[in-house]
Chain A
Amino acid sequence: MENYLSLFETYDVPAAFWVNIQLSFWAAIWALAVGTVLALFRISPIPSLQWFGAAYVNIFRNTPLTIILAFGFLGLFSVMQISLASDLNLSLFRIAIVGLALYHAAFVCEAIRSGVNTVPLGQAEAARAIGLSFLPAARLIILPQAFRGAIAPLGNVLIALIKNSTVAAAGSVATESSGLMKTMIEFRSDLVIPIFLTFALGFVILVIPIGLLTTWASRKLAVAR
């Protein structure tokens, strides 16, 4: 027990989780923005934008996240020498955020589209009947209801994003929790199970409340029909 507690003096476990939370937070915001635009593309009347949205979703949904994040480090950072900050670690951190956001944007797009599917046909017809064209109808009538219908799937995307932020290890963000867990187990192989349980519990504590909260919110905010 004393052995176990001394781990927390040597290794800063909360700091590693904080890196994952920050990665998830920024990636979630960007993924939500990009995913909403993609969803708008896919329901718009313009064929080239529909096609672009569909191609984006199919490509990013079917590529392993590990490849995307490894590409960020090996391709963008090492070969293309793209850096998003003067500080090396900050640059890798931001490249990982870009990778996470681009990957999850495809799932956000699909979640919002499933939300659009919950909006009854009559709503769009009514929007047209009062003279709204595509963008005002989408902005004022369809999307607000679609977001409320999409809370549960969006919550699932957020949960996946938090767990997937550990894959940033493939993008050489060494300070996040899966990297720290690896280091800790390598140096303290006598405590391998307690170390794993600590990190597993950390994610259970992060993820399960979000699941409960989004389930509750999706019921509470669902448009009564």
Chain B
Amino acid sequence: MSAQQVLFDAPGPRARRNILIGNIVGVLVVLGILAWVVSALAAKGQLAGSMWAPFLESRTWEFFILPGLLNTLKAAGISIVTSVLFGLVFGVGRLSHSAPIRWFAGLVVEVLRAVPVLLMMIFFWLALGSSGAVQPQDAPLIAVVIALTLYNGSVIAELVRSGVHGLPKGQREAGMAIGLTRNQSLRTIEVPQALIAMLPALISQFVVILKDSALGFIITYPELLQFTRRLGVGEGNVIPSLFVAAAIFIAINFALSSLATRLSTLLSFRTKGRKPAAKGAIAMDAAST
């Protein structure tokens, strides 16, 4: 049902009056909830100027927020690249002509998607730290990257697979008609098209990676949340600090999500006439942390 307006009629005078009344009640209720939250915060002195003043000082940004943001972006950036690589390898593996490769890739992808990212993160953090294979101070970053890669790479592998399945059959037939082998046609014709069709879903997955990088907080990786918590404890303004950290995450992720939505309308002409596989895929795993 695409046009949701059809749930209710083109409103007549009475319905318009009811909607207006409903609208006013709705606004009052929302404002009431906001006022309640604000007054609760004010009662605990959370809205005092001194609580928010640190965010006007350059040293707060220089020593806390920007270093944290930089570490968040570093972990997320590396993980995005490695996840895409992992996803390509295992996505192509799942489409392989040889059954053992297909099963192996399928098993790996299914199991990694079922294990919580945080468990993998804690495991790699402690295992790497105690094994001495890496410098102790590098263990958190490496654990964050490995855990995010294994999980999100598996999701991307599924995207690659469903993208290739969504392509018209003629693409492979054409590839084989000009003398490519199945694998060549997969690599040079099908996967690149699948990636473009799946671009919106892929970007939504990058949002998941960026959000999940905040799990690094739990394994002492000094990312944005970790730095803002330190700031909050130091300045005694924990709640304002967490609000600022959340606002930064929301701003970046909202920009990425809007890009994904814009791309999916832009790309819709390419997928016209066949099922929009990308649309279902966006919802597929978006609920991850």
- Using a CB–CB cutoff of 8 Å, the interface residues on chain A facing chain B are 43-49, 52, 58-59, 61-67, 70-71, 74-75, 78-81, 104, 107, 110-111, 114, 116-121, 123-125, 128, 133-134, 137-138, 142, 153, 156-157, 159-161, 163-164, 166-167, 169-170, 177-178, 181-182, 185-186, 189, 192-193, 196, 199-200, 203-204, 207-208, 211
Contacts and interface: CB of A to CB of B under 8 A. Distances in A.
A163 B208 CA distance: 14
B115 interface: yes
A10 to B, nearest CB: 17
- Per DSSP, chain B at the interface is helix
B114 A74 contact: no
B45 to A, nearest CB: 9
A67 B8 contact: no
B126 A167 contact: no
A185 B217 CA distance: 19
A78 B233 CA distance: 11
Contact of A133 (B8, B126, B229): B8
A182 B114 contact: no
Contacts of B286: 61, 107, 110
- Per DSSP, chain A at the interface is helix
Interface string B104-129: 00000011001111111011001100
Given A45-B19, A64-B249, A181-B123, A167 B7 contact: no
A100 to B, nearest CB: 10
B285 to A, nearest CB: 7
B212 A196 contact: no
Contacts, number: 205
A160 B217 contact: no
A-B pairs with lowest CB-CB distance, top 5: A64-B214, A48-B26, A160-B287, A62-B253, A65-B289
Nearest to B6: A124
A43 B4 contact: yes
Contacts of B46: 79-80
B2 A64 contact: no
B188 interface: no
B126 A192 contact: yes
A107 B7 CA distance: 22
Nearest to A81: B44
Contacts of B114: 159, 163, 203-204, 207-208, 211
Given A66-B215, A75-B238, A192-B127, A59 B119 contact: no
Contacts of B268: none
